[in-house]
Structure 1
């Protein structure tokens, strides 16, 4: 059997220095020669599986740090940043970027962090929403401790065997002396939920559909019973402004609600059994398309990973109002980017239909990635007015072969729709955007 291997010199060198060991001492502990360790540290020899096991056992080493480049989007993410016009005169090619990442991953991560903080034009002021999003992306939208705590609570309440909404409402009543009350829209103008501690009520607008009501009840249960986990994560995000911390806290509270309604193992098992069929998942977990899409971006538990999806939400004007990269490696598009040929835009003309499309895009990347995407519209009720949004799920096409929604769709890159880098910076003469409807395949 061939032994798997990888280049991990910088990580091993940092570990040795952290332990205060010479190369000779560490080599003796691992049962290898100092010269061989020296070659490994210089990336002239791979770290074999056998040696990796020794490192893990003797030094309490977390092997996930060997994939630390994933946090910056790997080689593609670094190439994207190096493609900035400010570096155009340096002639940096993909091979040179790859050497930089392999030889000095921490330095590459520092460059990426500085680049992302500075912003593309170097003049983006404080943006609490962007700050919170970057913190979420550092976790790849997977909060392991919070997920496990919510899963344990879901098992305790036996949510899989009962009316989820009723069971959670009963939990609020018994543990927190809070009742759930549905109120007319005119009583709650412009809001969908309100916690009235004086009346001991969680008040919900009648405009919320069933899935949204259940989500709000789960959210309140999570906010009360998983408060310590939520606050620990918020403090660990190291955000500089109260508004950014509030945005981050709001996200992880929503995360807790989704983890209660769609507990990790049961949800992942359902995904694998159904080919990630979003229609079945909606019915099985009594959740909306939007809720399923968000949950699919979180499946990164060590040893139990799901497919790496991203999701995004668009308003009727075409502006992106939410983006979650998960572990997909997708990059938040530039401000003002518009891709009218993409299915999220065509979805507005096919209300309620599930649209699928294979595309290529990647802002500034040397080789745009090949994606399989799924989109449909959702109705947002209970706010100042009813509004329709378009939600899209995306997955690299190389992972999409077993997806239920990908059956009958060509995953050959030659058949994908090239989206470029977004309308403001594209300038392509052969743009396909005038005919978005013929580019999407509709299905129920």
Structure 2
């Protein structure tokens, strides 16, 4: 597949500055003129294939890292923000948006933050008095942490490598992870793992004084293993996690504490599913989720989440999207390394197969889908149930969604038997009704923003209005 025009001026400039070279020195090394390099760095000209190859050869970098769509997340978020009626007199072109996200990402993040504050104020101000109104303009700590993971591509290199090294030292991925981790945490940190009381509702409890880690006897084995790995994260990776949090620049201690939970979970996932062994197994098994779960003693959700973090430079996995959705349609986990980006506001498209998972528990549902921008995807969805224990214990159900662009579908066993060459086999889906441009969708929940409606009182179609072109 041919590579489109690449405007990667900021990346090229960062690469040159990292090598402490002037424009003249850098241009000479890759065999182009200084003026051409200047135009590239200012995104006035795209990078040619020969220049891209020269960059990869001279500086030992992965072409995929240079030409990757890592800006898609920022581009999608900015595009969604500017689709708000607040900006009804301004409709930027795709090229304008790309120029902003590539050359001034800080400005793009600032505008997105301002838009978030505006939405919270607009939607909730009427129900609050003046003493509470000021708090609505601030990004919540949870949202701040969510955006942190989103914009670092859901991959934390130092934490991932640290966990992988420990997993290799312990032999995790090759034997009984539970026994290996239990032995390690007792020998190195004096922490004893015990089963909790039969009537306890706690999943996990750690007593620093007695150094006893108590786990629920009713939790599934993958959950218990993950909780041991999480305790190892607190004891083994504290310094590295502190460094990541300090570099994130969170505005409040609450956000830092929430991020710490996320980083503990990240380490635990990277320890139980170490990067290179897990990546090799995913390729070998063609991303068969059930087989991966069985090989590593993990749950389906843990496997799907780990697949979404395989973004190590020079050793990336297949770019996938991953989400967890509850019965009310709330997206409680989300990440996308593919072009598909989840809406920051509103529910997911009702035509997406993830909603069918609750109707067919125990099945892996496959769907070929196409978004309004013409990109096609292989979408997978299945239901998972958490909890357990007594008869009356809560057992919340979620739908897990996973997928990739159709160009990568052959790497998934789930693509077998699907007619990916037929245009009619692809369901038209959107990102969210409020920003979807499809004009004839009978499943639309709300009209799209910044589009005028035509009302004809003598005519009624699938919708009570028509969307003007």
Bin for the TM-score computed over the shorter chain:
0.7 to 0.9
Aligned residues: 419
**1:438 counterpart residue number:** none
TM-score in terms of structure 2 length: 0.78
Deviation at 1:248, TM superposition (A): 1.4
* 1:85–1:154 CA distance, 2 compared to 1 (3 A): same
Q: 1:157 aligns with which of 144, 164, 170?
A: 170
Work out the CA distance in 1 between the residues paired with 2:374 and 2:31. 43
Work out the CA distance in 2 between the residues paired with 1:198 and 1:23. 59
Work out the CA distance in 2 between the residues paired with 1:252 and 1:431. 42
The answer to whether the 8 A contact 2:329-2:347 is kept is no
Q: 1:131 aligns with which of 121, 144, 159?
A: 144
Work out the CA distance in 2 between the residues paired with 1:23 and 1:113. 28
Work out the CA distance in 1 between the residues paired with 2:316 and 2:62. 17
Three-state SS of the structure 2 residue aligned to 1:300 is: coil
The answer to whether the 8 A contact 1:370-1:413 is kept is no
Gaps of at least 5 residues in structure 1 are 435-444
Alignment of 1:385 with 2:403, yes or no, is no
Deviation at 1:267, TM superposition (A): 0.5
Alignment deviations for residues 373-405 of structure 1 (CA, whole Å, 9 cap, x no partner): 211111211697222221111222222123101
* 1:225–1:371 CA distance, 2 compared to 1 (3 A): same
TM-score in terms of structure 1 length: 0.82
Q: Greater RCO between the two (CA within 8 Å, min separation 6)? A: 1
Alignment deviations for residues 171-218 of structure 1 (CA, whole Å, 9 cap, x no partner): 1111111111112352x23x3111023332111112211111111111
Q: 2:250 aligns with which of 239, 242, 248?
A: 239
Three-state SS of the structure 2 residue aligned to 1:378 is: strand
* 1:34–1:373 CA distance, 2 compared to 1 (3 A): closer
**2:464 counterpart residue number:** none
The answer to whether the 8 A contact 1:4-1:49 is kept is no
**2:93 counterpart residue number:** 93
* 1:37–1:161 CA distance, 2 compared to 1 (3 A): closer
Gaps of at least 5 residues in structure 2 are 121-135, 446-469
**1:184 counterpart residue number:** 197
Q: How does 1:43-192 map to 2 (within 5 A)?
A: 43-44=44-45, 46=47, 48-49=51-52, 51-52=54-55, 56=59, 66=66, 70-73=70-73, 79-98=79-98, 100=99, 105-107=102-104, 109-120=105-116, 122-124=118-120, 125=136, 126-186=139-199, 188-189=200-201, 191-192=202-203
Task: Calculate the aligned-residue CA RMSD, in Å.
Answer: 3.4
Work out the CA distance in 2 between the residues paired with 1:50 and 1:282. 38
Alignment deviations for residues 240-261 of structure 1 (CA, whole Å, 9 cap, x no partner): 1222212211111111111111
